[in-house]
Amino acid sequence: MDSGIAAEQQESSFHDRAHRLLASKTSLIWVVTWEEARLETQLGRLADHTFKKPIPLLVWSATTGLVDRRDNQVFAGTESPRSALDAVLRIETTVIVLLEDLHPFLTDPLVVRRLREVSRSLDAGYSSIFVSAPDLHVPRDLEKAVAVLELELPGPEELGSVLQRQLDGSPGTHLAEPELGSALVRAAAGLTEDEARRAFARLLLNKTEVTAENLSEIYEEKRQIIRKSGILDFVPPRGGLDQVGGLANLKKWLQMRKRFFGRQARNAGITMPKGVLLTGVSGCGKSLSVQAISSFWQLPMVRLDMNRVYGAPGGPEEGLQRAIETAEAVSPCILWIDEIETAIVGMSGDPTGLATRIFSSFLTWMQEKTKIVFVAATANEIHMLPPELLRKGRFDEIFFVDLPSEQERTDIFTVHLRKRGHHPEDFPIVNLAKSTGNFTGAEIENVVVSALYRAFGEDRSPDGDDLYWAVGQTIPLATTMAEKIKEIRRWADQRAIRAS
């Protein structure tokens, strides 16, 4: 299934990398994953195809002991890790061994010792031991002896076959159009195989036809799962760029980079855009524009809440780490950090240096990340932004979003009238734009909303007078904050380019 944009993100698959390790006689391999069943399937494939002849895959867990996966034959008396390792040592042919859930036993120095000995004695041949664990807490004594592999979340191809199997199993249900398949696969990016299977199964349940409307069910599933990570929120795509009035420069910039996320660009070795920072006057569409990027680029978006990073149970460092891992797992994606300055608040009053440390690990990650996680940040209190954040190489561009021009105000009226089912041509929007100098986008939206309310309350269709009335009711914030806006503009003049 070709889902275009959500192409494989890693140059080589787990299979290829594991194959290389086996071929080079690596005897101890640590695999970071939550997905034991999927790992078993992958290793089964390696056991079948790496060597001239298929070799056995033996799987150990503390409850079952060592089991030969081909015939489910159990090696008696191998429930303890040491007895299992002893049994492995006695096998003379080439095998792949998967030890599931070994990590709780690795606090026992004797188990660690035995594992090292067994792995060393396997070095001569092609047998190898895989240890699966949800994280990378390798005991120090083993660090030198293990190779580490990550079983990435399933890519579009694997998700595609999961979907296909579910469809095959539900003959009463079909997709309204074939392209929907890729859209579903894209929507499921970031789920484990199990999660995706459950999500698809629920989606197909009791339906004869799946339509684009149903995509939101997958997004909801994903939202729940990402929520469980505790730090990130999944933001379902809403309106596209057509919901944003004005900001032509920003739109052009986004338009030019849309292609970068396609498979071709990636294969051509094009450097991916890293991120964008939107600063500017409150209520003029910064957050709105960030949300529009997601649907415009057709990439999933997750939001990082810095307050949650600081409140994370394992401490902020672990919180940030987990957030980054989750975002990378959903890659390619957009990571939205709204009001990034709040992350840095109190840095001056930061006696322990914690905030500074968190922030600098974030910057380092931004600089060095290899996964496609496009950072879209917004900032209001620009004077709080440290120079490190603004340095070249961090964000590809810093945009300044000013109060909308007259033409832009016309566009914003158009957007909001249309959004509510009205024809902009029926209203004097050009003149309205003239009489709303200094209004923010949010205030124009409010004008439209109040005008519609008034007409509705009087049981008639809205007209120009309702809008003029609402304009008269509004005191634009910019009038009272003229000084502050001047200051923002001065700052932006030297550091940012205009979004309009």
Contact footprint for ligand ATP (CB under 6 A) = 244-247, 282-288, 378, 380, 404, 412, 415, 441-442, 445
Residue 8 or 339 with smaller CB distance to ligand ATP = 339
**Binding partner at 250 among ligand ATP, Mg ion, none, C-beta below 5 to 8 Å by kind:** none
**Binding partner at 283 among ligand ATP, Mg ion, none, C-beta below 5 to 8 Å by kind:** ligand ATP
Q: Is 13 an interacting residue with respect to Mg ion (CB under 5 A)?
A: no
Query: Rounded to the nearest whole angstrom, what is the least distance from the CB of residue 243 to ligand ATP in the complex?
Result: 6
Residue 138 or 379 with smaller CB distance to Mg ion = 379
Residue 139 or 239 with smaller CB distance to Mg ion = 239
Query: Rounded to the nearest whole angstrom, what is the least distance from the CB of residue 297 to Mg ion in the complex?
Result: 19
- Identify residues 263-302 at the interface with Mg ion (CB under 5 A): 286-287
Query: Rounded to the nearest whole angstrom, what is the least distance from the CB of residue 385 to ligand ATP in the complex?
Result: 14
Distance CA 393, CA 387 (A): 12
Q: Is 407 an interacting residue with respect to Mg ion (CB under 5 A)?
A: no
Which residue is at the shortest CB distance from Mg ion?
Answer: 287
Residue 325 or 381 with smaller CB distance to ligand ATP = 381
Query: Rounded to the nearest whole angstrom, what is the least distance from the CB of residue 445 to ligand ATP in the complex?
Result: 4
Residue 324 or 344 with smaller CB distance to ligand ATP = 344
Residue 131 or 340 with smaller CB distance to Mg ion = 340
| Residues 6+ away with beta carbon under 8 Å from 271 | none
Distance CA 96, CA 14 (A): 15
- Is the omega angle on the peptide bond into residue 386 within 30 degrees of 0, that is, cis? no
- Return the ∠ at Cα 426 (arms to 423 and 431), rounded to 5°: 115
Query: Rounded to the nearest whole angstrom, what is the least distance from the CB of residue 288 to Mg ion in the complex?
Result: 8
- What string of H, E and C letters represents the secondary structure of 341-390? HHHHCCCCCCCCCHHHHHHHHHHHHHHHCCCCEEEEEEECCHHHCCHHHH
Query: Rounded to the nearest whole angstrom, what is the least distance from the CB of residue 278 to Mg ion in the complex?
Result: 9
In angstroms, how far apart are the furthest CA atoms of the chain? 90
Q: Which stretches does DSSP call E strand in 171-328?
A: 174-175, 209-210, 232-235, 275-280, 301-304
Query: Rounded to the nearest whole angstrom, what is the least distance from the CB of residue 57 to ligand ATP in the complex?
Result: 53
**Binding partner at 244 among Mg ion, ligand ATP, none, C-beta below 5 to 8 Å by kind:** ligand ATP
Query: Rounded to the nearest whole angstrom, what is the least distance from the CB of residue 446 to ligand ATP in the complex?
Result: 8
| Residues 6+ away with beta carbon under 8 Å from 135 | 32
Distance CA 133, CA 15 (A): 18
**Binding partner at 155 among Mg ion, ligand ATP, none, C-beta below 5 to 8 Å by kind:** none
Residue 166 or 291 with smaller CB distance to Mg ion = 291
| Residues 6+ away with beta carbon under 8 Å from 482 | none
**Binding partner at 435 among Mg ion, ligand ATP, none, C-beta below 5 to 8 Å by kind:** none
Distance CA 437, CA 439 (A): 6
Which residue is at the shortest CB distance from ligand ATP?
Answer: 441
Token duo for residue 131: 């240890």
Residue 237 or 285 with smaller CB distance to ligand ATP = 285
Torsion angle of alpha carbons 81, 82, 83, 86, nearest 10°? Answer: 120
Around Cβ 94, how many Cβ atoms within 10 Å? Answer: 17
Query: Rounded to the nearest whole angstrom, what is the least distance from the CB of residue 482 to ligand ATP in the complex?
Result: 17
Q: Are strands 128-133 and 28-32 parallel, antiparallel or unpaired?
A: parallel
Q: Is 342 an interacting residue with respect to Mg ion (CB under 5 A)?
A: no
- Return the ∠ at Cα 294 (arms to 8 and 210), rounded to 5°: 75
User: Would you tell me which residues interact with Mg ion (CB under 5 A)?
Assistant: 286-287
